[in-house]
Structure 1
Amino acid sequence: MLSGLTISNFAIVSELETQWHAGMTAITGETGAGKSIAIDALSLCLGERADAGAVRPGAKQADISARFDITHLPKAQQYLQEHMLESDDNECLLRRVIAKNGRSKSYINGAAVTAAQLKELGQYLLSIHGQHAHQLLLKNDHQLHLLDEYAGHKTLLDNTASAFDHYQTLQRELKALEAKHAQQQAQKQLLEYQVAELDEFALEEDEFEQIEIEHNTLSHAQHLLEGSQKQLYALYEGDEQTISGALQHSANAMVELAAIDPALEGIANMLNEACVQVEEASRELRGYCDNTELDPERLSQLDQRLASAISLARKHMVNPKELVTHHQEIKASLEAICVDDERLAQLDTEINDALALYQQHSEELSKSRQDAATALSELIGTSMHELSMENGRFAIELDNDSVRAPSRLGQDRIEFLVSTNPGQPMQPLSKVASGGELSRISLAIQVIIAQRVTTPTLIFDEVDVGISGPTASAVGKLLRRLGESTQVICVTHLPQVACSAMNQFFVAKEVANDETYTQMKALSSQGRVDEIARLLGGDNISATTLANAKELIAAYG
C-alpha cells in the first residue's frame, strides 16, 4: 500500500510531505485548490509522460517520491528481485525528477531505471480510476477491456493474441510472395531460357582461359615447330659446329688447365655443368618437336568454342571469363523463384492451420467471456440497485462470429445494455443512460473490477461527479466497504462520501508574495467535522451544519 508521498516544486506545490494509511482516505478541498495534485504526482511516479509544465515556475526541477509497503505484495517483490532492485526492508521507493526542459529521470529504490520500468512495477502497486472513466464506458473496446479485467483470463488473451500474430505473419508473407511472384513470372521464363542455353553450352570453371591458351598455341604451331627445330640443330644436332660441341671443347680445355692451376677448377666445373644443361635442353627440345603437330581440325573446334563463349558473354553482358560465375548466379536466382513457388503452395496449408488454431483460442476466450459476462451483469445490476437505481437492469451482450475479421482480442463484439425504468427495453448504454446514471454504473463497474483484480491501492479521482443525495450515501458506503480489504483513496466533493472515509486530507490554495501555493494536510477529528460542515453548507458554517456534520460522520464512519 501507499505509505508516503513527498512532492517538491511540482506544479503549484512548493513542498509537501504526506503519510498514508490503510482503509479509505478522502481528499477534499475548495474548487480549484488542486485536490488532484497528489494523484497527478503519483501518476508521474508510475511512469506517466512528463513535460516542463510539471515544474513549478522559477524552480530548476520537480522532485516526487512515493513510498510503498510491499510486505503483502508478492508480485511487486518478484519484479524487484528479477530486476535486482529490491531493498533491505519491505519498502519500495519510486522517484521521478523532471527538469525544467522537460527531461526526466526515474529511480526505483535509488537505482536509475526507465519510465517504462516504473509503469511495469506500478501495475502491482496502484490503480487510478479517473473522473472521465464513465465517458470511456461508452466505447465498445473499453467495455471489452473491462470484461477481460473482470474475467482475469490473461492466458486465454495471450494465446489468442499469439495465434493472431502468427496468422498475420503468415498472411504478410503470403502477400509479399504473391506480389513478388507476379513480378517474377516474366523473369522466370527468361531465366529458364538463359539457364538452359548455358547448361547446353556447359562451359566449365577456367575452361575459357584454357581454350585461349590452347588456341594461341595451335594457331602458332608452324612457327613454334620451325623455330624449335632450328634451335635444336644449333644446339646439338647440326652437321657443322654446334653450341654443345663448342661448349664441350671449352670444358675439356679448362679441365686440363685446372690440373695445372687449381684456381681454374671452379670455372671448369661450371662449363661441365653448362654442357649437361645444354644437353638436357636439347633433349627436351627434341621431345617438344616430336610432339608438336599441326592440327587444323582441333584449331577449328577451338575457334568455334571460343567464338561461342564470346558471343554468349556479349549476349549476357559479362566478360567471357565471368560466364561460368554468371551461369551459377542466374541458376541460383531461378532456384530461388522455384523455392518461392513451393513456399506459396505451403503457405495455403499453414495459413489454414494457423486460422484454425486462432479460432480455437478465440472460441475458448469467447466462452470465458460469456461466463464472466453473466456473472458481471448480475453484480452490476445489484450495485445499480444499491446506487438508487432500483428498477435498473444491466446485461452484457456478446456476439462471437468466426467469419468476422480476426483480431488480437478475438472475434467478439460487445455491447453494454441497460434499462433504467420499468417497462423500458434493454438498449445500448450510450442511448439511454443519463450523465448521473452513467457515473453510477461506471463507479459500480470500477469497484467490482477493483475487488476482482485485487490491486493493493485504488485511487478514485472525482468518480462521483453527477451524484448527489441518497445516491452519494450509497457511493460512500460502497467505497468504505471496498476500503476494508483494499487501500482506497478518493478525491471527492460530496460530504456523504468524505464522511465515509477512515482518514481525510484537506487541500487548500494560498497566495503569498504574488505566488500561489497548494497545501495538503491530514485532518483531525474536529478538522473533519469542520470540513464536512463546509461541504454541507459552504463557507457559512453554522451550528446546524456542524451538528449535521457530526451526525454524518457518526452515521457513516
Structure 2
Amino acid sequence: MLEELELRDLGPIHDAKLVPARGMTSITGETGAGKSMLLSALRLISGAPADASRVATGAKEAWAQGIFVVNEGDAALAIAQQAGAQCDDHEIFVARTVPASGRSRAILCGKTVPKSVLASLADELITIHGQSEQLRIASPARQREFLDRCADNDKERLAYAKAWNAYREIDDRLHRLSSQESSMRQQADYLRESIARIDRVDPRPGELEELKRQRERIEHAAQINAGVANALAALDASQGDGGDDYQSADALIQHAVHALRGIHLSGVFEQCADRLESARAEIEDVTFTLSQQLDLDSSGEDLDTLNGRIHELDELTRRWGPTLDDVIAWRDKARFDVEDLDASPEKLTELAAQRDECLRKAHKAASALTKTRERAAKRLSKDVDGELAQLAMAGSSLTIEVRAREGDGALDANGGDDVEFLFTPFKGSSALAMGKSASGGELSRLMLALELSAAGERAHKDAHKEGEAPEGDEVPPMTFIFDEVDAGVGGKAAVELGRRLARLARRAQVIVVTHLPQVASWADSQYVVGKKEDGDGIVSTHVREVIGDARTEEIARMLDGSTTATSLDHARELLASSKLS
C-alpha cells in the first residue's frame, strides 16, 4: 500500500505531498493543472525511464519518493532484502532523482540500486492503468500472467515447471552427447588415461606435505639428533653423558622441592613446592617426547625413496593441482564425467528412453495447467462482460482464448497453450486483440472490469478458505492507479464507474485521476491539483487535500464550474449518496 508520495520540482509542481487513503483516493483538478505529474512521479519510482525535460524550469533536479507499507512475507520485502536494503517496520522507501543533466539515481531504503530493482518492486506493489501502461496487457505473456493470477494455479504451475526442467535437462544432455559424439570420445579417452595415471600413483590426502616433512627431518637428522640429545641431557642427567658432577634441570628442581619441603611450614613455601612438582611433571613429559625423536633413520636409501615418491606427486599437482586434494577431487569428478561422455549406442538409447518419459510427464502436467486456465478464462470472461454492461459499455465483451498447442515443440517454459484476450467493442463487430480494438477510455474501463473480476475471484477463494473475507491489520497487497478510466463516460454510467472503483478499493488501494464528480465522490479522500499566481505573476501548481466544506466546493465546481447554492446542494447530495451498502 502506498502510504505517502512526495515530489519536488517535477514539471509545474515545485513541492507536493500526497497521503492516499487506505481505500480509494481521487485526484481532481482543471485540465492542464498538472495531474499527470503525480502519475509521472509514480512512474519514476516504478523504474520508468527518466526524462530530464520534466525537471522544473530553473531547478537542478526533480525528485520523487514513495513510502510503501507491506505485510510480513510479501514478495516486495524479499526483493528489497536481496538488493541489500534494510526495511524497518515493514516500510519500503523508494526514491528517484532526475538531474537537469546527467544520469538519474534510484534509491531503495537509503541504498543506491539499479532502476531495474525499482521495476521489480513496482510489479509487486503498483499497477498503473494509464494509456501507456495498458498496452503492456496486450502482450501474450502479460495476459497469461493475469489469467494465472485469477486461476490460483500455483500448484499446477510449480508441478509443470518441475517436469519441464527435468525434461529440458535430459534433452540437453542427450543432444550434447549425440551432436558431439566424436569430440566427446576423445575427451573421454583423455579422462580415462588421466584417471589411470593418477590411480597408478594412488595419492592420499595430505600425503605430499607429510612426505616433505619426513624428507626435511631426514636431511637434518644429524642436526636434530644433536640438538635433541643436548636438550635431554640438560633436562635429565640420566638421558645424557654430562658426568657425575653434571646436574640436570630435573635434579635441580627435585633439590629445590626437598629444600622447600624441609622448611615444614605451610603457606607460600608449600605452594611453591607444589608448583615445582607440577613443573617437574611437565619436564618429564617433554623429556619423554624428545626421547622418541632420537630414532630417526637417515639412510640414503630411504631418502631416495622419499624423493621419488615426492617427484611423482609433484607431477600430479602440476597437471591437476595446485594441491594433492585438488588432484583427487579432479579424478573423482572425472570418473562421473566419463560416464556422460561415453556416448555408446546403449547409453544414447537409455537416455532417449528417459527423455521420452520426462516428456510424457511434462505433457501430463501441461494438460493439468491448461485445464485450470480454461476454467478461469470461462469464469473471468463472464464476470468481465457483466462489469462492462454497468460501465457504459453494453454490447462489449471479452473473450479469453486458451489454445492448446499440438505437435513437436508444443511445450515451452510456460506450458502447452497460448492465451489471448480478444475484445469485442460492440455487437456484430469482430473480436480483435486488446489494444487494437479499444480506445484509451474503453481500455481503461476494460482493465477496471478485469481487476474487479479478479478481485472477486480472490474474495471468493479467501472466503472459501477462511470462511470470511480477510480483515485485521493487514494492508492492501496492491495499489491500483487508474487514469482516463472515465473518458467518454457520464450520467448513470459515471456513478456505476465510481461505485465499482469503490468496490475494488475494499480489497486493494485505489487511486483514480478523474474529472467526473460522480467518480470523485466515491473516494475516501480527495486531492485537488490547481494553479495559483503569486504577486509577481508567476504561476505554480499546488496539490492539496480537500476535506469537509472544501471538498463539497470542489465537487460543486466539477458539477457545473461554480459554487452556487444549487451546485453546493447537488454536491452534498452526491457525496451523501456515494456510499457502498
Partner of 1:339: 342
1:358 alignment partner AA: A
The CA deviation at 1:73 is 7.1
Pick closer, same or farther for the CA change 1:509–1:155 going to 2, 3 Å.
Answer: farther
Q: Is the 8 A contact 2:97 2:106 kept in 1?
A: yes
Could you tell me which runs of 5 or more consecutive residues in structure 1 were left unpaired when the two chains were aligned: 193-334
The CA deviation at 1:475 is 0.9
In 2, distance between residues paired with 1:503 and 1:397?
Answer: 39
In 1, distance between residues paired with 2:151 and 2:349?
Answer: 40
In 1, distance between residues paired with 2:86 and 2:453?
Answer: 32
Partner of 2:331: none
Pick closer, same or farther for the CA change 1:534–1:176 going to 2, 3 Å.
Answer: farther
Q: Is the 8 A contact 1:96 1:106 kept in 2?
A: yes
Q: How does 1:433-472 map to 2 (within 5 A)?
A: 435=439, 438-450=443-455, 455-472=477-494
Partner SS for 1:36: helix
Q: Give the TM-score of the pair, scaled to structure 1.
A: 0.62
Partner of 2:199: none
1:486 alignment partner AA: A
Which has the larger displacement, 505-514 or 465-474?
505-514
Q: Is the 8 A contact 2:21 2:524 kept in 1?
A: no
Partner of 1:205: none
Q: Is the 8 A contact 1:476 1:496 kept in 2?
A: yes
The CA deviation at 1:76 is 4.7
In 2, distance between residues paired with 1:169 and 1:499?
Answer: 57
In 1, distance between residues paired with 2:385 and 2:52?
Answer: 45
Q: How does 1:79-228 map to 2 (within 5 A)?
A: 85-132=85-132, 135=135, 139-161=139-161, 163-164=163-164, 167=167, 180=180
Pick closer, same or farther for the CA change 1:53–1:417 going to 2, 3 Å.
Answer: closer
Percent identity of the aligned residues? 31
Pick closer, same or farther for the CA change 1:555–1:107 going to 2, 3 Å.
Answer: same
Q: Is the 8 A contact 2:83 2:117 kept in 1?
A: no
Q: Is the 8 A contact 2:392 2:489 kept in 1?
A: no
The CA deviation at 1:145 is 2.9
Q: Is the 8 A contact 1:184 1:337 kept in 2?
A: no
Partner of 1:234: none
Find out whether 1:528 has 2:551 as its counterpart. yes
Partner of 2:353: 349
1:364 corresponds to which of 344, 347, 368: 368
In 1, distance between residues paired with 2:82 and 2:435?
Answer: 48
Could you tell me which runs of 5 or more consecutive residues in structure 2 were left unpaired when the two chains were aligned: 190-337, 459-475
Q: Is the 8 A contact 2:494 2:516 kept in 1?
A: yes
Pick closer, same or farther for the CA change 1:11–1:177 going to 2, 3 Å.
Answer: farther
Partner SS for 1:406: coil
The CA deviation at 1:400 is 1.4
The one-character-per-residue Cα deviations of 1:282-314 (angstroms, maximum 9, x if unpaired) are xxxxxxxxxxxxxxxxxxxxxxxxxxxxxxxxx
Q: Is the 8 A contact 1:51 1:103 kept in 2?
A: no
1:408 alignment partner AA: A
The CA deviation at 1:493 is 1.9
Find out whether 1:15 has 2:10 as its counterpart. no
The one-character-per-residue Cα deviations of 1:106-147 (angstroms, maximum 9, x if unpaired) are 333334444333344444433322235655555544432321
Partner SS for 1:27: strand
Partner SS for 2:555: helix
Pick closer, same or farther for the CA change 1:163–1:503 going to 2, 3 Å.
Answer: same
Pick closer, same or farther for the CA change 1:443–1:87 going to 2, 3 Å.
Answer: closer
Q: Is the 8 A contact 2:130 2:444 kept in 1?
A: no
The CA deviation at 1:482 is 1.8
1:409 corresponds to which of 401, 414, 419: 414
The one-character-per-residue Cα deviations of 1:210-236 (angstroms, maximum 9, x if unpaired) are xxxxxxxxxxxxxxxxxxxxxxxxxxx
Partner of 1:473: 495
In 1, distance between residues paired with 2:392 and 2:8?
Answer: 42
In 2, distance between residues paired with 1:430 and 1:77?
Answer: 33
Cα RMSD between the aligned structures? 4.1
Partner of 1:397: 401
Q: Give the TM-score of the pair, scaled to structure 2.
A: 0.60
Partner SS for 1:458: strand
Partner SS for 2:382: helix
In 2, distance between residues paired with 1:66 and 1:35?
Answer: 17
The CA deviation at 1:485 is 3.3
Alignment length (residue pairs)? 411
Partner SS for 1:358: helix
Pick closer, same or farther for the CA change 1:99–1:177 going to 2, 3 Å.
Answer: farther
Partner of 1:555: 577
Q: How does 1:18-37 map to 2 (within 5 A)?
A: 18-37=18-37
Partner SS for 1:65: strand
Find out whether 1:495 has 2:517 as its counterpart. yes
In 2, distance between residues paired with 1:58 and 1:498?
Answer: 34
The one-character-per-residue Cα deviations of 1:502-533 (angstroms, maximum 9, x if unpaired) are 21111124577797643211113333233333
Q: Is the 8 A contact 1:5 1:17 kept in 2?
A: yes
Q: Is the 8 A contact 2:533 2:540 kept in 1?
A: yes
In 1, distance between residues paired with 2:10 and 2:442?
Answer: 35
In 1, distance between residues paired with 2:74 and 2:179?
Answer: 51
The CA deviation at 1:440 is 3.1
Partner of 1:278: none
Find out whether 1:2 has 2:9 as its counterpart. no
In 2, distance between residues paired with 1:160 and 1:410?
Answer: 7
In 2, distance between residues paired with 1:456 and 1:380?
Answer: 20
2:342 alignment partner AA: V
1:357 alignment partner AA: K
Pick closer, same or farther for the CA change 1:77–1:338 going to 2, 3 Å.
Answer: closer
The CA deviation at 1:25 is 0.6
The one-character-per-residue Cα deviations of 1:400-454 (angstroms, maximum 9, x if unpaired) are 13426322222223344566777x5994566996646554333200233356576
The CA deviation at 1:27 is 0.6
2:361 alignment partner AA: L
Partner SS for 1:145: helix
